[in-house]
Amino acid sequence: MRLKNTIALTSIALGTLFVFNAANAADVKSITLATEAAYEPWNLTKPDGTISGFEPELLQNLCARMKIQCKVIPQDWDGMITGLKAHKYDVIIDAILATEERKKEVAFSVPYATTPGVFAALKGGKLAALPNNGKTFKFTKANVDKNVIASLKAALKGKTIGIQAGTVYSPFIYENFKDVATIREYKAASEHDMDLSTGRIDVVFDDATYFKSAFEKPSNKNMTMSGPLIGGSIWGDGEAFGAMSERRIDRLVNPLVSGLPAFLAANNGCSSGFMIAQYTAVSLVNENRRLSAPASLDGGITSALQEDHLSHATPAAVKLLKVIENTKLILAIELLAATQAYDLQVGKEKKAAKTDAIYQLVREHIPFYADDRPLAEDFKTAIGLMSQHQPLTAIV
């Protein structure tokens, strides 16, 4: 059930891309996505050269439901975000954790998975069962269990730790172990696996889900997970689809990049146009990020110290419903901004059939925005139109 809800939510998040493009050129027919294609089970390259794994399979589901062509290309991890910013592809799907630092450059969808980090060592070795072996701890950046870290530092003193460069795990390892251990960085996870398997390093630290898949390879059969499973918001909000942080609404209202009147105002200089609407969209996106924190983090001990598990299913469902409602409003703002942008173009190009159908439907119910009237009712109307008509698939 969690996977089904996540897929639905990421479909909505990616849908914002198509509302903007459909009203600016022709109907979007394809997008390009990048993945490392070497981080099992999230993504991998099969012997015949095709890209597979959990994320590409999730992507196939989304693309089929959105009725578009999605091309997946391989991209080395260390150049992933750089390539996105250079417009080499439209979206990243690569178990990329949504950290606050990355949010400054990349806009993330709702997380579609969370996974803990863990050490791996050689079976039967002295480090095969590090302190707190198999136990799960949830850390935040402000609240790391010092006793857990201290026991690991004592066990790893003088050892060599392998880590994939540029991952969210690197700062954690450097911050907590650089004073007691040698840290060796690798370009790809498979490289640190090789060095661990052959005894050139003592332990590695990576995604527990990745290790479960990696250990199935014959070359890694002498490896095992060791020590505690470390999860929580210390790793960010979880894996999510990445897209350019320059939101489509922002690019429409910004005259420096759109070539349109500032804020899509009909009376430029006297009216505020969609300026406040864009503020609203940003606020809603930020609220969605906050709501994406797992409800399970709020667990507590109950029943006179006998029980400590609370599923928090109801709060999680309530948060999900709020995220969906927020996303509907974001889409409505973008739909009206894109329609307004078309009306303000000089020398309008002919619209594609479905784009024109969307445009005509909007203008049938919502007039051109020329008088700085309150937009709340217009947004409600747009949400109703999207809910009733599903214009990209049902109008034409």
Q: In angstroms, rounded to a whole number, what is the distance separating the alpha carbons of residues 357 and 304?
A: 62
pLDDT of residue 5: 29
Question: Quick check: 327 and 383 in contact, CB under 8 A?
Answer: no
- CA 238, 242, 245, 250 dihedral sign is negative
Kindly report the CA angle at 62 between 56 and 64, in degrees rounded to 5? 100
Closest of 333, 336, 396 to residue 365, by C-alpha: 336
Closest of 84, 64, 80, 51 to residue 7, by C-alpha: 64
Name residues whose C-beta falls within 8 Å of residue 33's C-beta, 6 or more positions apart in sequence.
Answer: 59, 70, 71, 72, 73, 89, 90, 91, 92, 93
Residue-range domains of the chain with CATH:
1-114+237-245 (3.40.190.10), 117-231 (3.40.190.10), 246-396 (1.20.200.10)
| Distance linking the first and last C-alpha atoms of the chain | 33
pLDDT one-digit tens code per residue, 282-341: 888 888 778 877 776 666 667 776 666 666 778 888 888 888 888 888 888 989 999 999
Q: In angstroms, rounded to a whole number, what is the distance separating the alpha carbons of residues 163 and 205?
A: 6
Name residues whose C-beta falls within 8 Å of residue 217's C-beta, 6 or more positions apart in sequence.
Answer: none
pLDDT < 70 regions, the chain: 1-28, 95-99, 110-111, 236-247, 296-301, 305-311, 389-396
pLDDT one-digit tens code per residue, 237-288: 554 433 333 357 888 888 887 888 998 998 877 888 999 988 888 888 888 7
Q: What is the pTM of this model?
A: 0.49
pLDDT of residue 168: 77
Question: Quick check: 286 and 280 in contact, CB under 8 A?
Answer: no
